[in-house]
Amino acid sequence: MKEMLLKYGCNPNQKPSKIFMEDGSPLPVEILNGNPGYINLLDAFNGWQLVKELKKATGLCAAASFKHVSPAGAAVSAPLSDTLKKIYFVDDLELSPLATAYARARGADRMSSYGDFAALSGICDRETALMLQREVSDGVIAPGYTDEALEILKSKRKGTYNIIKIDESYVPNPIEIKQVYGISFEQGRNELDINNEMLSNVPTINKNIPDAQKRDLLISLITLKYTQSNSVCYVKDGQAIGIGAGQQSRIHCTRLAGNKADIWWLRQSPKVLGLEFADNIRRADRDNAIDVYISDEYEDVLKEGVWQNIFKVKPEVFTKAEQKEWLSQNDGVALGSDAFFPFGDNIERAKKSGVSYIAQPGGSIRDDNVIETCDKYGIAMAFTGIRLFHH
């Protein structure tokens, strides 16, 4: 297939719409089911690049959950605790390594992952397909599917679920072109190989970055490579736990991602794990209720006539003091930034979310202030010397 006609572009009024290879060669993708749209394909192709690079960098199965051309979550396969299995709603499923990676990617920010496009680094197996089948998702891209997995996924969304197979051997043109306002832009593809060498310049007093945290820093940087800038990514135990994308200022990005990382950690608290939900409540409704319960709007959930629709038993208030105490127990978090931190306030905010390791380009006129702030908290920070803007 040399071109694919699409229903419309980003919006219904943007017609005609299609994808094609400018040199006339066949497309490196095959649509096995469904009718993916313009944004679906942007998510799919960005997601595929991300997981392919994660697998190359770590040697582990990788998965990503994309929404509006930025990842809501990205992860590699690492064992899940019983707590994580519970908050990711997979404690009743068999988990292959690939399914574990997607459970982590999807579970990082379940509200943002609602209606995602999934990307998988390897052949989709039965276990991963069963997980996808019961989540609200627009589609999936992978280098292949087992026969059983394909049949499971074809039954999703009344047979309209988007299933894309990508040629794993496809190598894109080293020069990429796009148009804005009728004007063509051309640049070399960002073929930067992100590896441990980028973490060798450590200007802080603490220069110890263990191998597990080096892996997490690589995950953060590769995730940022495919996240709309400005972007910051918090990672722990092989998965992104907070991604802040498309912010105009670095501190707002750090706050946004940090708030998401805090929510991820708060969901593991005894107060949240002890919530007794009403029978037959959907997973998405549970996610929404938990998000409100740990927010400043929790009193709305606990109003008479409201909580009864969600919980079996009226939950106790999760006070700000209790939340602060629980958040103080999170540590060992890795943080990547796609451009330099201009001020130490970013480090102050990152520390509140348990950050102990940082990778950022460096090069700010205030690098001394940033280094000094890291030293105040014993944070090890690497200057990569590489910017990772993505637009």
Question: Looking at the annotation, which residues are catalytic?
Answer: 67-68, 230, 391
Question: Residue 94's Cα: distance from chain center in Å?
Answer: 22
User: In degrees, to the nearest 5, what angle opens at C-alpha 169 toward C-alphas 214 and 225?
Assistant: 35
Amino acid code (one letter) for 8: Y
SS3 assignment, position 323: helix
φ and ψ at residue 192, rounded to 5 degrees: -55, 125
Residue located via tokens 């959950």 = 65
Residues 312, 200: Cα–Cα separation, whole Å: 53
Distance from C-alpha of 184 to C-alpha of 181, rounded to nearest angstrom = 8
Distance CA 44, CA 47 (A): 5
The set of residues, in sequence order, having a beta carbon less than 8 Å from that of 304 and lying 6+ positions away, is: none
Q: Which residues lie closer than 8 Å to 222 by C-beta, 6 or more apart?
A: 50, 53, 54, 57, 74, 194
> What is the Cα gyration radius of the chain?
21
Which residues contact residue 372 at a Cβ distance below 8 angstroms, ignoring those fewer than 6 apart? Answer: 344
* DSSP states of 54-105: HHHHHSS-EEEEEETTEEEEEEE--PPPHHHHHHTT-TTS---HHHHHHHHH
CA distance to 338, 355, 372, per residue, from 244 (Å): 11, 15, 24
Distance CA 294, CA 298 (A): 6
| The two three-digit tokens of residue 32, written as one number | 């096995």
Q: Are 323 and 353 within 8 A, CB to CB?
A: no
Q: Give residues with Cβ within 8 angstroms of 297, minimum separation 6.
A: none
Task: For the chain, give percent helix, strand, coil, nearest 5.
Answer: 40, 20, 40
